[in-house]
Amino acid sequence: MAYPPHFIGHYKSWNSWNTSNLEGGLRPAETLAEDTFVRKFMTGTWHNLFLSEVIIKRQHNMLRIAGIVSQALPPRKLYFLIGYTEEILSNWLQCPVKLELQTVANKKDVVFKYI
């Protein structure tokens, strides 16, 4: 988040890698719909807990979801949400889903640095 949005493609990578849009890609429309669904599901399930954007990474058949989460919940509820999200998305999308989350105590600890 160190760069403004219009520099994302020049100085850093995108928030989701979608290589199915390349020539000969097998399922560009399905991938876009799945990414939109995953982002809305994460926003609704983790209501007001995500302090960053939802990062979606696809590797072969595996879907990895990353982001920065607030420590507003006790660890027991946080682990429940992680397991619930992985299980539901794995069943809906028919592929393994893994959440890679980092927690911070305060939103001010997340650095936003636009020039």
CA 7, 12, 14 angle in degrees (round to 5)? 90
Q: Which domain holds residue 75?
A: 29-109
Residue 56 lies in a domain: yes
Residue 53 lies in a domain: yes
Q: What CATH number did the domain enclosing 86 receive?
A: 3.30.300.20
Residue 33 lies in a domain: yes
Residue 23 lies in a domain: no
CB atoms within 10 A of CB 65: 21
pLDDT (tens digit, 0 to 9) for every residue of the chain, 115 residues total?
566 767 766 666 655 566 666 666 667 678 888 889 999 999 999 999 999 889 998 888 899 999 999 999 999 999 999 999 999 999 999 999 999 999 999 888 887 666 5
Residue 17 near residue 68 (C-beta atoms within 8 A): no
Query: Could you tell me the pTM of the whole model?
Result: 0.76
